[in-house]
Chains A and B, each alone.
Chain A
Amino acid sequence: DIVMTQSPDSLAVSLGERATINCKSSQSVLYSSNNKNYFAWYQQKPGQPPKLLIYWASTRQSGVPDRFTGSGSGTDFTLTINSLQAEDVAVYYCQQYAATPRTFGQGTKVEVK
Chain B
Amino acid sequence: EVQLVQSGGGLVKPGGSLRLSCVVSGFAFSSWSMAWVRQAPGKGLEWVSSINAGSSYIFYADSVKGRFTVSRDNAKSSLYLQLNSLRAEDTAVYFCARVHYGDYDYWGQGTLVTVAS
B6: nearest chain-A partner, CB-CB: A49
Quick check: is B11 within 8 A (CB to CB) of the other chain? no
Give the residues in chain B near A52, CB-CB below 8 Å.
Answer: 100, 103-105
Counting chain A residues whose Cβ lies within 8 A of the other chain, the interface size class is 20 to 34
Q: Taking the complex as formed, is A97 at the interface, i.e. its CB lies under 8 A from any CB of chain B?
A: yes
Minimum CB–CB distance for B102 against chain A, Å: 3
Contacts of A42 in B (CB 8 A): 45, 104
Q: Is B44 within 8 A of A97, CB to CB?
A: no
CB distance from B104 to the nearest CB of A (A): 6
- A50 cross-chain contacts in B, Cβ below 8 A: 37, 45, 95, 104, 107
Contact check, B102 vs A104: say whether CB atoms are below 8 A apart: no
- Which chain A residues border B108 with CB–CB below 8 Å? 49
Once bound together, how far apart are the Cα atoms of A104 and B61, in whole Å? 13
Nearest CB of A to B97, in Å: 8
Contact B102 A38 (CB under 8 A): yes
In the complex, the 6 A-B pairs of residues with the closest C-beta atoms, listed nearest first: A97-B102, A49-B107, A40-B103, A102-B47, A104-B45, A55-B103
**Residues of A with Cβ closer than 8 Å to B?**
38, 40, 42, 44, 49-52, 55-56, 61, 93, 95, 97-98, 100-107
Q: Which residues of B contact A (CB under 8 A)?
A: 35, 37, 44-47, 50, 59, 61-62, 95, 97, 100-105, 107-110
